[in-house]
Amino acid sequence: MTVLSRDQAAVAKRIVLKVGSSSITGDNADQINRLVDALAEAHGRGTEVVLISSGAVAAGMPFLELEERPADVATQQAAASVGQNVLIYRFQESLDRYGIAAGTVLLTEGDVLTEPHKSNTRRALDRLLDLRILPIVNENDTVAVYGLRFGSNDRLAALVATLIHADLLIMLSDVDALYTKPPHLPGAEKLVFISADDPLDGFEFGAGGPSGVGTGGASTKVVAARIATKAGTAVLVTSTELAAEALRGEPVGTWFEAAVRPHGYSLL
């Protein structure tokens, strides 16, 4: 069985990359161009890339004249409906610089966990990648029902990565890596490598918490990483600013070693 190592990221066949809301909306909306530069570089060397993009609600908030994330479900759905359109427009406008077309894929939990929806989702993503389209995936927040939601786009990313047998899942946020405790606290140490059998006892991943516009945090990334690595997909957690370096296999972020690699799978 072949397990992807960090320095092989540049030759990975298939990568799922997830970016959080706070990294590409509001004051950081201009980071989309930088992220697209990194994606286009990987796409140009033949890598199949699926982008999991949070941010629909956050992107829609200004158009609904909201300063804070709405608390009621109906307004969240309205903001997501407007914001998803805004996000895709911004991504496609940036991708046009490289002649890359994006495809929108909005999912609910049943689409990746329940047959026949699961097989249909895999087929659709596989075909988009075959056609050299960049799928941009998000939870369908406009119609998703509470109790049947992914909980976070970190979990969505992990489930999509396992569904399409990705070599690598890269989760981007505002922090350059995972730390033994929130990085602003004294004694916090960066975690560079986490083996497949590391129980991660004694760490305070939950203390970081989500941003004001997103739903993820350090703890959701650890849970998502475990889902992916158990299925044979390596995971890298780092910051959006380091997306290009991550896709090139440079020593950035926190690397989660994959536990297995499916029989008969060839990396190259």
Question: From the annotation, which residues make up the binding site for ATP?
Answer: 18, 173-174
Query: Contact 205/218 with Cβ under 8 angstroms?
Result: yes
- Detail the residues annotated as belonging to a binding site for substrate: 54, 141, 153
Neighbours of 73 (CB within 10 A): 12
| CB-based contact 206:46 (threshold 8 Å) | no
Contacts of 54 (CB under 8 A, 6+ apart): 18, 19, 20, 21, 138, 153, 214, 215, 216
> What residues form the annotated binding site?
18, 54, 141, 153, 173-174
3-state secondary structure the chain: CCCCCHHHHHHCCEEEEEECHHHHCHHHCCHHHHHHHHHHHHHHCCCEEEEEECCHHHHHHHHHCCCCCCCCHHHHHHHHHHHHHHHHHHHHHHHHHHCCCEEEEEECCHHHHCCCHHHHHHHHHHHHHHCCCEEEEEECCCCCCCCCCCCCHHHHHHHHHHHCCCCEEEEEECCCCEECCCCCCCCCCEECEECCCCCCCCCCHHHCCCCCCCCCCHHHHHHHHHHHHHCCCEEEEEEHHHHHHHHCCCCCCEEECCCCCCCCCCCC
